Amino acid sequence: MTGSPEFHLAWCKHYVHLFATNPVRNSLFYALVPTGLGGFVGAMRLQTVSECGRPCEVIYATQYDLLALRTPDLRPETEDPRERALIDKLKGRAFAASHVLSTIVPTVVMPGWSKMPLPAALVRDLRVAGGWQEPAGDRTASAAGAG
């Protein structure tokens, strides 16, 4: 008997673009990426969920359309407190809205599928929109390809 599938959260290009153009009007969405998935060729079929855990459309995304919520410069085999906080916030919102959410777990290394470059300021905005409260004095929101 196998357990239920587990997923990582990712920001995806289409929704990040919508969020960046109008963060007040556009909601935050996440792609559910199967755990254990490394880099891949072509497009992968992925379920998306809203910021309150409501299942949304199925998208096709390449690894260059996805960015893990993990801070890239963390030591491997460590959990990212920012990623954990965003997952917990999403789980809380889903519970409050009576949405059944798939099992979501944090990454312990930067996944091979996480290739979308985003400016650090946009990553910080996405984290804040997702519920991350940056501790005072912490302005080190780095991102793959930050510039």
Indicate the helix (H) or strand (E) that contains 55: strand 55-61
Residue with tokens 């792609």: 31
For residue 57, the Cα-to-chain-centroid distance in whole angstroms is 16
For the chain, domain boundaries? 6-130
Structure confidence at residue 139 (pLDDT): 52
54 φ, ψ (degrees, to nearest 5) = -75, 130
Walk along the chain (147 residues) and give the pLDDT tens digit of each residue: 457 899 999 999 989 988 888 877 778 999 999 998 988 899 999 999 999 999 999 999 999 999 999 998 899 999 999 999 999 999 999 999 999 999 999 999 999 999 999 999 999 999 998 988 776 655 544 444 443
The answer to whether residues 60 and 45 touch, using CB atoms and an 8 Å cutoff, is yes
